[in-house]
Chain A
Amino acid sequence: MSNYDSIDHVIGASLFLDDLPEPVNCLHAAICPSPVAHGKLKKINIDKALGIKGVITILTADSIPGENQIGTIIQDEPLLADKEVDFIGQPVALVVAGTARQADKAVKLIELEIEELPPVFDPRQAAANGDFIAPSRTLALGDIDKAWEKCATVVEGRTETGGQEHLYLEPQGSMAMPDERGGIMLYSSTQSPTAVQRVTSRVLGIAMHLVQVEVKRLGGGFGGKEDQATVYAVLAALAALHTSTSTKLILNRQQDMQYTGKRHPYSSDFKIGLDENGKILAYEVTYFQNAGAAADLSTAVLERSLYHATNAYYIPNVRITGHCCKTNNVPNTAFRGFGAPQALFVIESAIAKAAGMMKLPAWRIQEKNLLKEYDTFPYGARARQCHAKRAFSEILHSQKWEVTQKDIFNFNKNNSLIKKGAALMPICFGISFTTGFLNQAGALIHIYSDGSISVSTGAVEMGQGVNTKIIAIVAHTLGVNTDIITVQPTATRTVANTSPTAASAAADLNGMAAKLAADTLRLRLMDTAASRLGEHVSGISINNGKILLKGQPTELDWHALISDAYLSRINLSAQAHYATPDIYFDKNIEKGQPFAYYVYGTASIQVSVDILRGIVTIDAVNILHDAGRSLNQDIDRGQALGAIMQGIGWLTMEELVYNKEGRLLTDSLTTYKVPDIHSMPSEFNVSFMEDTDNPHAVLQSKGIGEPPFLYGTAAYFAIMNALIAARPDKPMFFNAPLTHEKILHFLTCE
């Protein structure tokens, strides 16, 4: 089954937020952003702006009836700046006007009086100043201080990974309509309808049941609409409340790039110790996370970095420290991988550097240290259904890795203008929100009297195919065809208290809730069929829309059964709730089992580098991935391919450049480069392990959204290997993204 939305997408009929019909007289809002990264907000002069034709009102912090607070994990972020501005692009005022053009024009006439304060953009500087979002955390295993003396090789180093712009193609936006009883109806391009509802309720000072949020679909999210969509929804709601008129707020691309948080940049220190055979005995790492000016999701992102510090390896002695550093950048946020990619880059850099010292290929060290069943992670959980070694060895075999390495060596010996490089990347990614209470979901299923089925869950469709998977789960459970099932827009009035569509867990959680609701309905319907047929329920089954008795067809089909059930006054609606069992964490001792299960796999990436021009060609990407019993291989393959490209983009070309005042210079698609069609590898294969079960998720499946992003890391090290082949006199460096500019600099400078 192809993606449920595909037909509407391909004929242009699917509606995104900005495509929804606007209510009559709909107003348009525009944000007045802070022009400086840090300062005292002395005065906002709106007199000239109010004079612009069409301007209805201009809202500031004083206009907020409830709390001026949008922070979720930590309440440290005002909706509209009050007394202080902490980053460039921070909303200071909101202009509401008849048209978007009028609002934009008025924004330019707002005069801000700001007494500038010195900004901080470097997380290490913030740490030195003691500016943290939250207390630092340390995880430890074994006795690292004693372990160093047992090591034959000890290597230290420093790594940098840059931020990353989500660049969902549909910019942020929302539309708010005043509702009866002082309520608000909100359409938002958000991954977190409940977060939008909760924060709107807090800011407007009205109860959550007066705020309705509905999401049809997103034009991409990637984490960028998990927390960051909230501010635009709440601003639109505030405007609708003040004007008693529907108000729309859509960011243009440049505003979106300037105002919204990105993947967290990390600056990290590592120290790794190995025995003479390449067995890693000790690993110590410290992450300086650039959280930006407010918490957003930073502490949770850092938590996942801590848990993924050792990637797919067992290391007996570990100390992992994470600092959540407060700077004057835009508050950084969720982005596919959620801190794991940053951590992975550090351990892989440590291995690459150690390999160089030991004159061993890095893949030998990777291979020797892979997790096996029941190995302990630094936070105390154990690897289960562990396929790390299997994936790695199957890739070694299928890619004829040792032969390939020799071929590359010989090629590089005979060619001076092109150098080739290759790298392997094993991965291990834990599935579940590390914030335990978020691991719950609800579903509501109605069967109408004609037999057609409506499913509502808390999952937001953003191209990842979650609705298609939920339809398949409900169809499978009820024994009907998929074509009589519709998934409704995600709405807080149908399914309440939803978790964000995030953490690669939307299909796991919402799919399981939908399955539980469908199970309830199936049992009721089997009872109905049994009494209609005068048989015991144990002989009844439903398959392919047919009602079977002991496996044989009966007079009843699905439509007749539903009609019968309705006339017999059977409840044809069911609601269910699912909470992931057996996950816990004790922050006092930093031990627990935060994940329901792990996803494993291995990537092999081969590249060619044009030594004169510095141009990289990704020749081949081959992946063996553990998707459990995939709910839909086409969708899972699509997720994997797209995630890998994003991972390659992050580490090789996507570069956020700021001036010294902290203004983002790469704020348009002409200056911020994401993978385009030329970045597509000529050989690009994702295979799935065919026989891996997963008892910890719905129908033995596994989450797919984030783990494959990690495979892109191999591109960095493959390119680095090619560069070292060209310049064996120079040391490797670990400063991503490895842009064209850095490559040329490395190749040409002494």
Chain B
Amino acid sequence: MKTIINGVKISLRAEWFDKDLLDFLREDLDLTGAKRGCGIGVCGTCVILINELPVQACKKTVADIVDMTVLTIEGMSNKDDPLHPLQQAFIDAGAIQCGFCTPGMVLTAHAFLLKNNCPSREEIRKAIKGNLCRCTGYQQIVDAIEEAARHYRK
């Protein structure tokens, strides 16, 4: 049994299946970009993508990623291009303050833009309704996603 996380194939053992997926990522794989904000799947700080769909890792177990492709914030960019255009847009728009919500916010937006690369601001709002930010007031986050959309049209 295997999974692919950020492009790397990882063999999974059955005894890990019951483990909280967020703990598995953070403790066993040292992928600490996904944060533990609420532990009950409502704040969005632990969002990762499983087969390009955003999920709250704190509500999943290792069994949920068997034969799946997982993307965490650490896998968003690649060596040739240290920042994905969406990440750059978050920086440019001032969409980041304390940074705790940022990985989940970016991945949620990424999954959304992969499906809808020409969104209205209203659609952007709906897409990130499950991600809380206590610092920014959200406007800059919507601006960043709107700006990044054009890169998904290419």
Residues of chain A at the chain B interface (Cβ within 8 Å): 2-3, 5-16, 18-19, 166-171, 217-220, 222, 252-254, 462-465, 634-635, 637-639, 641-646, 668-670, 674-680, 684
Complex CA gap A476/B40 in Å reads: 46
Which chain A residues lie closer than 8 Å to B24 at the CB level?
Answer: none
Least CB separation from A169: chain B residue = B100
**Contact indicator B129/A217 (Cβ below 8 Å):** no
B9 nearest CB across to chain A (Å): 21
**Contact indicator B139/A16 (Cβ below 8 Å):** no
Least CB separation from B86: chain A residue = A10
Complex CA gap A679/B43 in Å reads: 15
**Contact indicator A3/B96 (Cβ below 8 Å):** yes
Apart from A168-B100, A220-B100, A220-B134: 10 A-B pairs, beta carbons within 8 A: A3-B97, A10-B87, A10-B90, A10-B106, A252-B36, A253-B37, A463-B100, A668-B40, A669-B38, A674-B132
**Contact indicator B42/A669 (Cβ below 8 Å):** yes
Q: Is B39 engaged at the interface, CB distance under 8 Å to the other chain?
A: yes
Q: Which 6 A-B pairs have the closest CB atoms?
A: A12-B33, A463-B98, A9-B99, A219-B100, A12-B73, A463-B97
Contact with A along B91-109 (1 / 0, CB 8 A): 1101011111111001000
Which chain B residues lie closer than 8 Å to A6 at the CB level?
Answer: 90-91, 96, 99
**Contact indicator A676/B132 (Cβ below 8 Å):** yes
**Contact indicator A9/B94 (Cβ below 8 Å):** no
Least CB separation from A221: chain B residue = B98
Least CB separation from B33: chain A residue = A12
Which chain A residues lie closer than 8 Å to B131 at the CB level?
Answer: 677
Complex CA gap A554/B134 in Å reads: 49
Cβ < 8 Å to A, chain B residues 14-67? 26, 31-40, 42-43, 45
Which chain B residues lie closer than 8 Å to A171 at the CB level?
Answer: 36-37
Give which listed residue, B72, B83, B137, contacts A641 with CB less than 8 A: B137
In the assembled complex, 11 residue pairs joining A and B whose CB atoms fall closer than 8 Å, in A order, are A11-B87, A12-B74, A13-B74, A169-B98, A253-B40, A634-B94, A638-B136, A641-B137, A644-B137, A668-B38, A680-B142
**Contact indicator B97/A169 (Cβ below 8 Å):** no
Which chain B residues lie closer than 8 Å to A15 at the CB level?
Answer: 32
**Contact indicator B139/A641 (Cβ below 8 Å):** yes
**Contact indicator B103/A12 (Cβ below 8 Å):** yes
Least CB separation from A634: chain B residue = B94
**Contact indicator A12/B72 (Cβ below 8 Å):** yes
B95 nearest CB across to chain A (Å): 9
Which chain A residues lie closer than 8 Å to B137 at the CB level?
Answer: 638, 641-645, 675, 680, 684
Give which listed residue, B32, B35, B82, B97, contacts A170 with CB less than 8 A: B35
**Contact indicator A463/B132 (Cβ below 8 Å):** no
Dominant secondary structure at the A interface: loop
Which chain A residues lie closer than 8 Å to B116 at the CB level?
Answer: none
Q: Is B114 engaged at the interface, CB distance under 8 Å to the other chain?
A: no
Which chain A residues lie closer than 8 Å to B100 at the CB level?
Answer: 16, 168-170, 219-220, 463
Least CB separation from A9: chain B residue = B99
Least CB separation from B32: chain A residue = A19
**Contact indicator A10/B132 (Cβ below 8 Å):** no
Q: Is B76 engaged at the interface, CB distance under 8 Å to the other chain?
A: yes
**Contact indicator A670/B42 (Cβ below 8 Å):** yes
Complex CA gap A674/B38 in Å reads: 13
Q: Is B117 engaged at the interface, CB distance under 8 Å to the other chain?
A: no
**Contact indicator A669/B40 (Cβ below 8 Å):** yes
Q: Is B120 engaged at the interface, CB distance under 8 Å to the other chain?
A: no
A-B contact count (CB 8 A): 172
**Contact indicator B106/A168 (Cβ below 8 Å):** no
Which chain A residues lie closer than 8 Å to B77 at the CB level?
Answer: 11
Complex CA gap A646/B131 in Å reads: 16
B63 nearest CB across to chain A (Å): 19
**Contact indicator B94/A3 (Cβ below 8 Å):** yes
**Contact indicator A253/B38 (Cβ below 8 Å):** yes
Interface size class of B (residues with CB under 8 A): 35 or more
Q: Is B10 engaged at the interface, CB distance under 8 Å to the other chain?
A: no
Q: Which of A11, A14, A252, A684 has the most CB of B within 10 A?
A: A11
**Contact indicator A252/B129 (Cβ below 8 Å):** no
Complex CA gap A642/B100 in Å reads: 15
**Contact indicator B136/A168 (Cβ below 8 Å):** no
**Contact indicator B132/A169 (Cβ below 8 Å):** yes
Complex CA gap A6/B96 in Å reads: 6
Give which listed residue, A9, A19, A252, A465, contacts B102 with CB less than 8 A: A9
Complex CA gap A684/B125 in Å reads: 15
Given contacts A10-B102, A668-B38, whether A465 and B97 have CB atoms under 8 Å apart is yes
Which chain A residues lie closer than 8 Å to B91 at the CB level?
Answer: 2-3, 6-7, 10
Which chain B residues lie closer than 8 Å to A644 at the CB level?
Answer: 137
Given contacts A6-B96, A219-B98, A676-B129, whether A463 and B139 have CB atoms under 8 Å apart is no
Complex CA gap A173/B114 in Å reads: 36
Least CB separation from B73: chain A residue = A12
**Contact indicator B138/A645 (Cβ below 8 Å):** yes
Complex CA gap A168/B35 in Å reads: 13
Give which listed residue, B33, B35, B139, contacts A680 with CB less than 8 A: B139
Least CB separation from B129: chain A residue = A677
**Contact indicator A168/B87 (Cβ below 8 Å):** no
**Contact indicator A641/B136 (Cβ below 8 Å):** yes
A621 nearest CB across to chain B (Å): 9
Q: Which of B32, B100, B132, B136 has the most CB of A within 10 A?
A: B100
B6 nearest CB across to chain A (Å): 11
**Contact indicator A678/B42 (Cβ below 8 Å):** no
Given contacts A2-B94, A169-B132, whether A12 and B138 have CB atoms under 8 Å apart is no
Cβ < 8 Å to A, chain B residues 116-143? 125, 128-129, 131-142
A242 nearest CB across to chain B (Å): 25
**Contact indicator B97/A642 (Cβ below 8 Å):** yes
Which chain A residues lie closer than 8 Å to B128 at the CB level?
Answer: 677
**Contact indicator A7/B83 (Cβ below 8 Å):** yes
B94 nearest CB across to chain A (Å): 5
Complex CA gap A169/B34 in Å reads: 12
Which chain B residues lie closer than 8 Å to A253 at the CB level?
Answer: 37-40, 43
B112 nearest CB across to chain A (Å): 12
A713 nearest CB across to chain B (Å): 16
Complex CA gap A467/B141 in Å reads: 21
Which chain B residues lie closer than 8 Å to A217 at the CB level?
Answer: 98-99
Complex CA gap A683/B146 in Å reads: 16
**Contact indicator B97/A14 (Cβ below 8 Å):** no
Given contacts A169-B35, A219-B99, A678-B125, whether A684 and B139 have CB atoms under 8 Å apart is yes
Which chain B residues lie closer than 8 Å to A9 at the CB level?
Answer: 96, 99, 102-103
Which chain B residues lie closer than 8 Å to A13 at the CB level?
Answer: 33, 74
B139 nearest CB across to chain A (Å): 5
Which chain A residues lie closer than 8 Å to B106 at the CB level?
Answer: 10
Which chain A residues lie closer than 8 Å to B97 at the CB level?
Answer: 3, 220, 463-465, 638-639, 642
**Contact indicator A5/B99 (Cβ below 8 Å):** yes
